[in-house]
Amino acid sequence: MKVPVDYWPEPLKNIPKEAPLADEYVTVAEVISSRDPDYRYRQTFTGLVKEKYLIKLLNDTEEHIFHCDIETSGPHPCGPNDYRPSFKIVWGNIVPNGIEPLVLSWEGGSQKILAPDSGLLMTYGLIPRLVKINGEEFVVWDDLSYPQYDIVKCKMAEEFDWSRESHQYISIHKDYLLDYATLRDCHLIQIYVENNVSPLTDFDARLLNEEYSMSFSFPGRRINMTTEGQPSSTLGAVVWGIRHLISPGNLPVTEGYRDYGELVWPGLKNPVTEKYSGPGPMPYIYVKDSVLDFYESNPHKYDIYPESGSVGFRNQWSVGYSNRVGRDLIRVEIKKLYESTPPDVVRHWHKYAVEPPKESPEKLRKILNVADRSKRVYLSYIDLGKTISIIANNAGLNNSQSSDFIGFNHLEVNHLDWWSDKKVFPITCHIPIEMSEDRFLDRCLSLTKLIIDSLKEKNLRKLIIHLGVESDIIKKFRSLKLLAILIELAIIANDTGLNLIKNSEEIVKRWIEISDKLKDDEFIPSPINVLYVLYEVRIEKAHSSNNIDNLLKSLDVDKASLTTGWGLLMDRFYDEIADSLEEMNHLLCEAIE
C-alpha cells in the first residue's frame, strides 16, 4: 500500500494542524509529559540556521539523524583543563558544526532545565522577573528600554516523573523572534518529537497489514508506528521532525529605535529631528495634559510629577524641563525632550501637541490646573486632621495624632512629593474637559476613598463622647456623620461665643435641642454637606445606577449642559470640596480659641 507524502497516523493528527505563529507569542521550547487520559510525550526546541542549510534540513530523510535534543558538554564533565561549555543541536553532516539553539537545556538530578539563550536576552537588554500564577513560579523577561513587558515567558524547571503530568515551556514575543532572526541573518527552525497513542483506525490498520510495527521516512520527518505491547485496537506512534518557523525579514523592534524622523510641532516653523538646530534660545512646545493618560494608567511603572507634568521611567529616560500652564497644558523644552527620551516617547507626546496659547504667562499662571486643585484638597484635609488632633489633646485624649482621625499624619507629609501616597495620586490625574460621566464617577470614588474612607470612626466617636455626647445617641452613626457632629458642635460654639472644650457640656445640650427639632433627612447646615453629596455618588456608583441628580442639584447644574464633557464640573467639585475642608478647619480652630 502506497503511503501518501502527507500521511500522519491518528495519534499524530494534531501536528499538521499546529500553527505556531498564529498567536502573539511563539512557543520556542516545550516539554510535555502526560498519562491522563492517554500517554503523550512532546519535546520541541528552536534553533538558528543559515540559508545555505535550510533546504537540505527540511528535505532530509536520513534515519540516523532524526532526534530531538540539545547536546551539551556537561553537566559535570571529566575533561581536560581547556574545557569550554557548549550547546548545539547535532544534525549529521548537513550542518557540520551543529545547529545553534535558541533555547538551552540540560538535566540536573531529576529535573530538566529550559533557559533562553543569553545572546538573545543580551541583544535586547532583557531583565528577568519572577511571577506566580496559580501557585506556580514563572520567570518573565522584560524590555525596560521601552518598556515592554513579558517579552519572554518561561517555566524553566520541572521535576521529571513518568507517573505524573508535567509541562515546561518558553514562549517569546513574535516581533522579537523576527527581529532576532533578521539581525542574525538566520532562519528559525524547530525540531520536535512527539509520542502518542490513540484508537487504531481502519486506514492505519491496513497500512500496518498485520505487522506489529512499521517506520516511514518523509522529507523533514520520520514516523514509527507500533501495536506491540498494546491491545490490537490501540496504536502508538512517534515522530521526529523538523519544520521551518521564521525567515529573516524586517526589524520590528530595533529598526527606528533611535530614529526620530521629522516631526512638525505646532508653533515651530521647521520640522524637528533628533537634534534641534534652530536659531536663538531653545523653544518650547505645548501639549494637552491628556498625554499623561497612558502613564497615569500605569503608575507602578512610571514616575509622574503632577505639578510639573513631568514623567520618568526608572533611570532610563524622563520628560523633564516641563511645567504646567493654564488649565490643561504642559510646556516642554523641545531640545530636552529629544535629548532625554527615546523616539516612541517623543512620538507619543507629539500626538498631543497643540498651538502655543495666546494668553500671557502672567494670565496662564493664575489659571488653576488639576495639580493645584488636588494639592489644595489634600493639604486642607491634612490641616483638618491636625486641628482635630489638637482638639483631642486639649480635651484630654493625650498623645492624639492627626492619623488617629483621618488616616494621615501631618508630621509625615512631604510637601515636595505630596502626591506620592497611593490614595492621593488618583485625584491628581488629568481632567480633560471632555471627561465622560463614567470617569467623573470614578474620580468621585477616588475622592471618597481619600477623604471619607480615611476617616477613623472609632476615634471620632471616642472624641465626641469625650466632649459629652452620650454614646447611645451616636451608636448608629458612622465616620462621616461623626465628623459632621463635631463640625456642628463647633458651629454652635462659634454662634454662641462658647469654647468647644471648656463649655462642651452646654454646647452638647444645645446641639441636642436643635437636633431634636430636625427631621430624619435634615441636617444642621454646615460646610460638610458637600461631602454627603460625594458619599451619595459613591453609593450610586457602587450600585451601578449612576444617578447623580442630587449632586447636580446641589451644584445647581443642568445635566443637559454636560453634553460636551464633565471636566469643568469636576473642577468645580474639587473647589467645592476644598472650600468645605478649609471652612471646617476654620470653624474648629475658631471654636477652641
Q: Is residue 586 helix, strand or coil?
A: helix
pLDDT tier, 538 (very low <50, low <70, confident <90, very high otherwise) = confident
- Give the mean model confidence (pLDDT) for residues 481-489: 95
Measure the CA–CA gap between 101 and 188, rounded to whole angstroms: 9
pLDDT band at 281; cut points 50, 70, 90: low
Look at residue 234 in the predicted model and tell me its pLDDT: 86
pLDDT of residue 138: 92
Q: How confident is the model at residue 21 (pLDDT cuts 50, 70, 90)?
A: very high
**For residues 460-472, average pLDDT:** 95
Q: In this model, does residue 546 exceed pLDDT 60?
A: no
Residue-level pLDDT at 591: 95
Cα–Cα distance between 279 and 284 in angstroms, integer? 13
381-424 pLDDT tens trace? 999 999 999 999 999 999 999 999 999 998 888 888 899 999 99
Whole-number pLDDT of residue 282: 66
Contacts of 444 (CB under 8 A, 6+ apart): 534, 537, 538, 541, 551, 573
Tell me the percentage of the chain whose pLDDT exceeds 90: 59
Residue that is written with C-alpha cell 536520513 in the block: 62
Which pLDDT band holds residue 276 (cuts at 50, 70, 90)? low
Phi, psi angles (nearest 5°) of residue 136:
-100, 145
Instruction: Answer whether 248's CB lies under 8 Å from 185's CB.
Output: yes
| Residue with cell string 488649565 | 327
Residue-wise pLDDT for 121-151, tens only, equals: 999 999 999 998 888 889 999 998 878 899 9
CA distance 417 to 402: 19
Decide if pLDDT at 109 tops 80: no
Report which of residues 209 and 176 the model is more confident about.
Answer: 176
Strand, coil or helix: 50? coil
Q: What is the mean pLDDT of the segment spanning 349-376?
A: 94
| 303: pLDDT strictly greater than 90 | yes
Give the CA distances from residue 331 to residues 310, 365, 449, in Å, rounded to whole numbers and listed in that order: 10, 12, 31
Q: Which is it for strands 234-246 and 221-226: parallel, antiparallel or unpaired?
A: antiparallel
Angle at 230 between CA 225 and CA 235, to 5 degrees: 35
Q: Give the pLDDT score at 503.
A: 95
Q: What is the pLDDT of residues 488-514, one digit of tens each?
A: 999 999 999 999 999 999 999 999 999
Mean pLDDT of all residues in 473-492? 95
Please determine, for residue 81, whether its predicted confidence score (pLDDT) is greater than 80. Answer: no
Confidence band of 277 (pLDDT split at 50, 70, 90): low
Task: Give 87's pLDDT tier (boundaries 50, 70, 90).
Answer: confident
Contact, 197 vs 230, CB < 8 A? yes
Residue 37 pLDDT > 70, yes or no? no
Average pLDDT over residues 168-191: 95
Chain segment 210-254, per-residue pLDDT in tens: 788 888 888 889 999 998 666 678 888 999 999 999 999 999 988
- Using CA atoms, how far apart are residues 501 and 477, in angstroms rounded to an integer? 22
Contact 252, 194 (CB under 8 A): no
Structure confidence at residue 549 as a pLDDT band (50, 70, 90): confident
Strand pairing category for 111-116 and 157-159: antiparallel
CA-based torsion, 6, 12, 14, 19: positive or negative: negative
Label residue 65 by pLDDT band (50, 70, 90). low
pLDDT value of residue 291? 97
Our CA angle for 178, 184, 185, nearest 5°, is 85
Mean of the per-residue pLDDT values for the chain? Answer: 89
Separation CA 72–CA 119 (nearest Å): 17
Task: Lowest mean pLDDT of 134-148, 295-309, 429-443, 499-513, name the range.
Answer: 134-148
Residue 93 pLDDT: 79
Give dist(CA 322, CA 383) in Å, integer.
30
Q: Measured in whole angstroms, how far is the alpha carbon of residue 406 from the centre of its chain?
A: 29
**Cβ proximity of 418 and 424 under 8 Å:** yes
